[in-house]
Structures are given as C-alpha cells and as structure tokens.
Amino acid sequence: AQSVTQLGSHVSVSEGALVLLRCNYSSSVPPYLFWYVQYPNQGLQLLLKYTSAATLVKGINGFEAEFKKSETSFHLTKPSAHMSDAAEYFCAVGQGNLIFGKGTKLSVKP
C-alpha cells in the first residue's frame, strides 16, 4: 500500500522568505511522487513530478523538490515566496490511481 503524510496543515511565510512544505511517503515499490497546487475554486495543477530520474526535480513557478529515499521524503521548496503562491498544496504518490495527502495551505504575508 502507498500513502503520503503532509506535515503541517497550514504554513505561513513572509513574502520573499523560503517556502518549505513537507511530505513523507510510504511505498513498497519505487514511488512516483507529485506535487499539485490548488487555487480557490479551481482544479489541481501539477507543479512537478518524480519518476525515478533525477532526485532533484524542478517544477513550474520556481518550485523544486528533492527525493530522499533514506528519509522517505519529497519536500517542496521555493527560495523566495511570492504573494501569488498562496494556495493549497498537495503531495501525491502513485501511478494512475494517485494517493493524495491532506494538503498544506500556504499563506504569504506582505
């Protein structure tokens, strides 16, 4: 069985500060991992995905994530937060049938 755990249901950062959203996974097979972003009243948009190639994955809007097998983690980072980054972020594992975490709501303070 596969699962993901997102640590922190709500993260607040100042504009220009580092964004770090945490995700740990559990998988009995080499995982495919994803980060999605959801803006209010919209569907999910793929930020980036890990599919066993490079462990450091770069995505859209300046986000990146590093796959660490030893820590079973796939944390999402962005060096400098922008007001437009305020949204809910979901980590997911799987192939086809995606298993999502509960989400982390990111707030960005001016």
Choose which of 12, 45, 61, 84 interacts with another protein (CB under 8 A). 45
61: contact with another protein by CB under 8 A: no
CA angle in degrees (0–180, nearest 5) for 1-4-63: 140
100: contact with another protein by CB under 8 A: yes
Tokens 């986000």 belong to residue: 63
Strand runs labelled E in 1-110: 3-7, 10-14, 19-26, 33-38, 44-50, 56-58, 64-68, 73-78, 87-95, 97-100, 104-109
103: contact with another protein by CB under 8 A: yes
Q: Which stretch binds another protein (CB under 8 A): 12-20, 44-52, 62-70, 77-85?
A: 44-52
Could you tell me how many residues of this chain bind another protein (CB under 8 A)? 21
49: contact with another protein by CB under 8 A: yes
